[in-house]
Structure 1
Amino acid sequence: MKYEGKFGKYGGIFVPELLIPAIEELEEAFYKFKDDEEFMNELHFYLKEFASRPTGLYYAENLSNELGCKIYLKREDLLHTGAHKINNAIGQGLLAKYMGKTELIAETGAGQHGIATAVIGAKLGLKVKIFMGSKDVERQKLNVFRMELSGAEVIPVDMGSKTLKDSINEAFRYWISNLDTSHYLIGTTMGPHPYPSMVKFFQSVIGKEAREQILEKENKLPDTVIACVGGGSNSIGIFSGFVDDEDVDLIGVEAAGDGIDTNEHGATLTKGTEGILHGSLSIVLQDEDGQINDTSSVSAGLDYPGVGPEHAYLQSSGRAKYVPITDKEALNAFRLLCETEGIIPALESSHAVAYAVKYAKQEENKGKTIIVNLSGRGDKDMFTVAKELGVSI
């Protein structure tokens, strides 16, 4: 391997020996093509013409007036397929094509990464297999249908907790059996090197745009950047534009499910310990024997017992702060953004909005300028939200 893929002590490569040749092939291709003019020109073309970048940095005037802060929303929800996931799917899909692969494999929780992979597979002429926990298949039926319409095969996973963790396990198993023809298009900043660095590279467009946009609008950097964290791709993408600016606070918001003190929760960086999960050393939710805990969240995309290794490093170094938000708080924020701005956020993004509300209400934060990464739109969550709110639709 040319690079260690470490963030402090976190990251690295912890995979079966059978996967090492594929990991080495992927590392070589990524570091070659990210500096290749033809590849980058094609990537930028698809980001602009297919995904509709750049996305806006929207001043949420009504919400700002209500909370006493200047709140800007980075509108990743306006992208094709409805979330930031398309940025990385385009990048890795193109990379797979340049590597001569004929099939994309992906895992998905909320379905946004699955849709993004399905549409880029359709665009580039690649077969697509999507592994999805059967629990998530049920609560994200609309997204499953959208994947299938784009030609993808959606494979329900009935093992374990039947959520994102288990779909990742099955995707790895399939990849090991099909290394010559397939590329595993991981959707977040977890996994063995080079995935955390590669996904960050393809998602860094969010941070680059947001930095330029806030300077244009405010003539200064924001005081705080807030984003939700499951595996952590949207957050690492926007954080990357400000991580070198020590005066900008970075806050990652995790899903705490029914509450931080319950047995089932997300909030990996709040409650987890060091461990190895899905190919890298990071912070994970595990018992005293090292067995991975099940998680529970109203948000399928944050329902994951690990986190990308760079987030573990950012927390340990003190550069970023990570906080929990409960299902109830996220649902309240979902409704608040709908009512104040007419914007329907994904439940994942609603966690970030919820903490922005709590943050803005603190007296010492009055008047601050905040960017919230609105990582996705809430169309996919309508039935879940209605059920939680006791509304019949």
Structure 2
Amino acid sequence: MSHLRTYPDAEGFFGKFGGSFIPPELVPHMQAVTDAYLRISRSAQFVNELRHIRKHFQGRPTPVSYAANLSERLNGARIYLKREDLNHTGAHKLNHCMGEALLAKHMGKKKLIAETGAGQHGVALATAAAYFGMECEIHMGEVDIAKEHPNVVRMKLLGATVVPVGFGGRTLKEAVDSAFVSYLKDPETTLYAIGSVVGPHPFPMMVRDFQSVIGVEAREQFAEITDGRLPDHVVACVGGGSNAMGIFAGFIDEPAVALHGVEPHGTGTELGQHAATITYGEEGVIHGFRCLMLKDAEGNPAPVHSIASGLDYPGVGPEHSFLHESGRVQYAAASDAETLNAFYALSRHEGIIPALESAHAVAHAMKLAKQRPAGECILVNLSGRGDKDIDYVVDTFGDGRDRDLFG
């Protein structure tokens, strides 16, 4: 039975995770989005228009590359990269942003609103808004604004209004809170374009579906360059988890392919030192859906930390929570230090500067490669490029020349 056809159920649940826990006044608006998506997304007009955008605007398909130098140095399983860093705007986020904006256009909406952490979703949504001639409002924590300045500039150049969020931890969780408050003021003419496989139904399903283009492409491309075989392992970073669900979609019904989600372990195991939700979390409700989440002593969303702003979230997509509980996906965590090593290693030895989010997946793949035989293959979803991170990394940690990257 196909996982993608089976989950979620009609109420938006993946097992006991997901659903829609929202204020009564939002229920009819979310139902309208659900009804529109289920109707419009299956129409030939919508599908053809989105295919045209994928090919002629986004530059899809993105390639799969063999990381020969990295693989040789690790002397184990071979590492391949699905190059979402080459998608227009530099990350996988445009895959669902163009889909959500196209849906908004068909629904007659005039404005797009969203949160962003690393700024990649904000840039992608601002790009989609410019393409379709819509207003765009992006909420971003002040901490992330300081870390990800290049993406803030891009959003403004693309015509978006960037709203700084200065309460609480001033990162991604607070940006979501702020964006929801703004959305509640005018849900009639605005679409809240959620930036990951999180939020109330239908967004975890909808974003996964739009991102599944990654897995569909990767499966075909990998078979083409390896004489018809499937990868032994597929690895992707997980914050909310959209890029991971995108690539997992191509292989989730293949039990011989091991799927690995990689969370941010930050600097330690205490609350506030990491954002490893599946590793340390418990069941709860956040931002309108049930998932595994990190809680403080009072049961509220806990403070979190990651070197990667896009992974700095105390919850995780409900589908990931379900896949962890079912055992279909193995979830691990990479520390800030391991992530930095992977960032420098891929930059220096493959000529690819990855986003810090993606470097978490590379870090786990490097560790996995050393443990697996040379005949096995690891496919990593390189979810974004690191242009946004280079100033922060070099100013804070240096250029990495003094690091033992393969010790």
TM-score range, shorter chain: over 0.9
1:173 aligns with 2:184: no
Give the counterpart of 2:329 among 320, 324, 341.
320
Q: Which residue identity does 2:73 align to in structure 1?
A: E
Structure-2 separation of matches of 1:91 and 1:51: 12
* Letter matched to residue 75 of structure 1: R
Q: Normalising to structure 1: TM-score of the pair?
A: 0.97
- Give, in angstroms, the shift of residue 391 of structure 1: 5.4
3-state SS of 1:162 partner: coil
Q: CA deviation at 1:365?
A: 4.2
Could you tell me how far apart the structure 2 residues matched to 1:181 and 1:367 are? 54
Is 2:376 the partner of 1:357? no
Q: Give 4+ residue runs of structure 1 displaced > 2 Å after superposition.
A: 259-264, 364-367
Cα deviation code 1:28-63 (max 9, x no counterpart): 010011110001111111111111000000011111
**Cα distance between partner residues in 2 of 1:129 and 1:61:** 42
1:256 equivalent among 240, 262, 265: 265
**Within 5 Å, which residues of 2 pair with 1:119-130?**
119-130=127-138
SS at match of 2:125: helix
Quick check: 1:131 aligned with 2:100?
A: no
- Residues 293-347 of structure 1, C-alpha deviation per residue, up to 9 Å, x if partnerless? 1111110001111100000000000000111111110000000001111110000
Which AA in structure 1 matches 2:221? Q
Q: CA deviation at 1:263?
A: 4.4
- Kept in 2, the 8 Å contact 1:106–1:184? The answer is yes
Q: Distance in 2 between matches of 1:257 and 1:306?
A: 15
The aligned residue for residue 309 of structure 2 is: 300
Distance in structure 2 (CA, Å) of the matches to 1:324 and 1:382: 22
AA matched with 2:363: A
> For the residues of structure 2 that align with 1:329 and 1:262, how far apart are their CA atoms?
19
Q: Which residue of 1 aligns with 2:98?
A: 90
Q: Which structure 2 residues correspond to residues 200-279 of structure 1 after superposition, within 5 A?
A: 200-218=208-226, 219-261=228-270, 263-279=272-288
| 1:66-215 correspondence runs (5 A) | 66-67=73-74, 68-215=76-223
User: Cα distance 1:262–1:166, how it changes in 2: closer, same or farther (>3 A)?
Assistant: closer
**How far apart, in 1, do the equivalents of 2:365 and 2:396 lie?**
22
Q: Is this contact kept in 1: 2:271–2:303, CA < 8 A? A: no
* Structure 1: runs of 5 or more not aligned: none
Distance 1:136 1:62 in 2: 33
Q: Which residue of 1 aligns with 2:72?
A: 65
Identity of aligned residues (%): 52
1:40-99: CA deviations, max 9, x gaps?
Answer: 111111111111000000011111111222211000000110000000000000000000
8 A contact 2:167–2:174 mirrored in 1:
yes
Matching residue of 1:29:
36
Instruction: Report the equivalent of 2:3.
Output: none
Classify the secondary structure of the residue corresponding to 1:156.
Answer: strand
What is the total number of aligned residue pairs between the two structures? Answer: 390
Q: Is the 8 A contact 1:269 1:307 kept in 2?
A: yes
How far is 1:290 from its partner?
1.1
Aligned to 1:14: 21
Q: Which amino acid aligns with 1:234?
A: N
Q: Secondary structure at the match of 1:83?
A: coil
Aligned residue for 1:213, secondary structure, equals: helix
Equivalent position amino acid for 2:273 in 1: E
Q: In the alignment, which of 315, 337, 353 is matched to residue 344 of structure 1?
A: 353
Residue range with higher mean Cα deviation, 281-290 or 182-191: 281-290
Q: 1:168-188 CA deviation, whole Å, 9 max, x = no partner?
A: 011111111111110000010
State the Cα distance separating 1:259 from its structure 2 match. 2.4
Q: Secondary structure at the match of 1:313?
A: helix
Between 281-290 and 316-325, the greater mean CA deviation after superposition? 281-290
Say whether 1:280 aligns with 2:289.
yes
Distance in 1 of aligned mates of 2:269 and 2:81: 27
How far apart are 1:359 and its partner, in Å?
0.7
Give how far 1:260 is off.
Answer: 3.2
Q: Which residue of 2 aligns with 1:50?
A: 57
Q: Secondary structure at the match of 1:50?
A: helix
Cα-to-partner distance string for 1:147-177 (whole Å, 9 max, x where unaligned) = 0001000000001110000000111111111
How far does the alpha carbon of each residue in 1:195-218 deviate from its partner, in whole angstroms, 9 at most, with x for none? 000000000000000011111111
Task: Please give the alpha-carbon distance, in whole angstroms, between the structure 1 residues aligned to 2:389 and 2:339.
Answer: 12
